[in-house]
Chain A
Amino acid sequence: MISIKNLHFSYKKKKVFTGLSLQLSAGHIYGLLGKNGTGKSTLLRSLAGLLFPDKGSVEVLGHRPGKREPAFLNDVFMVGEEFYFPNVPISFLIKHQAPFYPQFNEEQFNKYIREFEIPADSTLQNMSYGQKKKVLISFGLATNVSLLLLDEPTNGLDIMSKSQFRKVMAGALDEKKCIVISTHQVKDLENLIDRITIIDEGTILFDQDMERIANKLSFRISYDQAEIKESFYHEGSLKGTAIVTENMEGEESKVDLELLYKAIVTNGQKVQSVFNA
């Protein structure tokens, strides 16, 4: 579905990607993690056809995104971190924006709006940032596009909305869709994503299925000083020391995304060696 080969991109003198390659397929929710300024949003904007590669190729659903052809644009939807809504009621959005998306389902949209507890007769400009974001997410999901790109979707959402978001997203995936979520709020993606991709310094630092991570790594509390010392990453908590270590027992471990992220950023090569073995 998405094929990125040797992607180079820079903003004037600042290099963002220097040879990034990545394959994403339908039927998955991908979590794109990374520090601020590592290129997560740039990657999503390149996939949406808003930025053009300096070198290399980006192919999405058989299209070159930069051409911005209608057949591509009506099968991709991006929920940006910064977004704009005209000053119209929600009904206008359905009447004038939805017809551009052939798979748009109004019933589905209304269902999401209800789940997010948005009053259907509100004018978009009178809504809070979080409410607008929920409308945009609902609209994006209801378009039923093959590729949904979400850039920091939980920013600005309150605690209840974040769990509503996880619930809505979990029910939205099918085998024909691909959802890519970029965020640095890793906790919000727990139990939602099935593959994690970590970008750093313009390259892919880590890219694995959640199932494989759960098999290969162990996330637990430890009191054993030797084990703590040997772990890929450890940090103190009220219960003891939380560690990330190799899963020797073969039992599936519940992945703690925050710990995983920290382990990869601080000790990436060692973590990666477990997966290469």
Chain B
Amino acid sequence: MNQVFNFNRCLLLIAKHWSENRKKYLLGMLAITGIILAWFGFYIVMERYRPMDPGVQYGTYYVGLFIVGCLYASTLFADLSSKSKGTNYLSVPASQLEKTLCTLLYGVVIFFIFYTLLFYFADIIMVKVGNTVAYSYWETNHSPAAVFEPQKVVNVFWTDSRPGQGEFNFLFYLLLCYFAVQSAYLLGSVYFSRFSFIKTTVGLLFIWLLLIVFVGKILNTFMPDGSFYESMASYRLNVGSDISEKIIRLPEWVNTGSLFLLKYAFAPIFWIATYFRVKEKEI
């Protein structure tokens, strides 16, 4: 039998995880739905004129996704901080790859699908409720020429962020950012035995701060006078006292490659780091 990956063993692991956590997951799903419904309900009460406008729906989906997704990720390897639970986890006769894949399946894929489904379940209901409330408010308060415009359920994965300037779906990048940040919390759950969420948040903020200092204070002192122009692979130099311009361009693949890495590499790198960190974990 393959010692790295075996499909049947992986299925056993997935079934075992579900059997041990199903009560917790079902309660979690109820809690997420309840919180979204309560938040939308509160917003409808506070904003009767335009409740459930697209901004609120997008905002709720993404703020919730980041908070709940990262909180959940920071608990996924919490077992390893306990001697008894960690022993139980590491002693299960499955490979580390299978165990990591099972965790990623629940923590990344299934969580994302179910969070989105639960959001839409609450959103569809509350958009209808919001429109009913808004219409009754509009009936008594509108000017004679006004037309009632009901709110629609938004597509949380698509928006045109620059109307008229070429299609740009900002939400796609927000989603990529979410997967990268969530994967960092997943890695944090292996590194930090206690207060993993808080410690990872502090760690990420620290790294962010270092990056700003590095780019703003250190990198800029090595770069000639000028600025990046159009892309990461071209730099506009200010030359001489007449401030004439000179543009230095690196090959296009540098720009394409860097963008690709920035967009897609963070999450897989953190997942791989998580795999190796768990593999070398001792209890």
Contacts and interface: CB of A to CB of B under 8 A. Distances in A.
B9 interface: yes
Nearest to B280: A52
Interface majority SS (helix, strand, loop, mixed), chain A: loop
B92 A100 contact: yes
Interface in A210-258: none
A83 B87 contact: yes
B12 A100 contact: yes
27 contacts: A50-B87, A50-B90, A51-B282, A70-B1, A71-B1, A73-B92, A78-B87, A78-B91, A80-B83, A82-B87, A83-B88, A84-B79, A84-B84, A84-B87, A85-B88, A86-B19, A86-B20, A87-B20, A87-B23, A88-B19, A92-B19, A96-B16, A96-B20, A97-B92, A99-B12, A100-B9, A100-B92
A235 B83 CA distance: 39
Interface string A58-72: 000000000011110
B20 A88 contact: yes
* B3, B79, B86: most-surrounded residue (chain A CB, <10 A): B3
Contacts of B280: 52
B85 A84 contact: yes
A111 B9 CA distance: 27
Contacts of A84: 79, 82, 84-85, 87-88
Interface in B1-20: 1, 3, 6, 9, 12, 15-16, 19-20
Interface of B: 1, 3, 6, 9, 12, 15-16, 19-21, 23, 79, 82-88, 90-96, 279-280, 282-283
Interface majority SS (helix, strand, loop, mixed), chain B: helix
A101 interface: yes
Contacts of A83: 84, 87-88
Given A71-B1, A82-B84, A84-B82, A49 B90 contact: yes
A50 B12 contact: no
A62 to B, nearest CB: 13
A95 interface: yes
A51 B20 contact: no
A95 B22 CA distance: 15
Given A68-B96, A87-B23, A45 B91 contact: no
B90 A52 contact: no
A51 B283 contact: yes
Nearest to A80: B87
Contacts of B82: 84
B94 A70 contact: yes
Contacts of A50: 86-87, 90-91, 282-283
Contacts of A73: 91-94
B23 A97 contact: no
Interface residues of A, number: 29
- 7 A-B pairs with the lowest CB-CB distances in the bound complex, closest first: A74-B93, A73-B93, A86-B20, A84-B84, A82-B84, A96-B16, A100-B93
A196 B3 CA distance: 35
B36 to A, nearest CB: 27
B3 A71 contact: yes
Given A69-B95, A70-B93, A84-B82, A52 B23 contact: no
Nearest to A49: B90
Contact of A52 (B20, B94, B282): B282
B84 A70 contact: no
Nearest to B2: A70
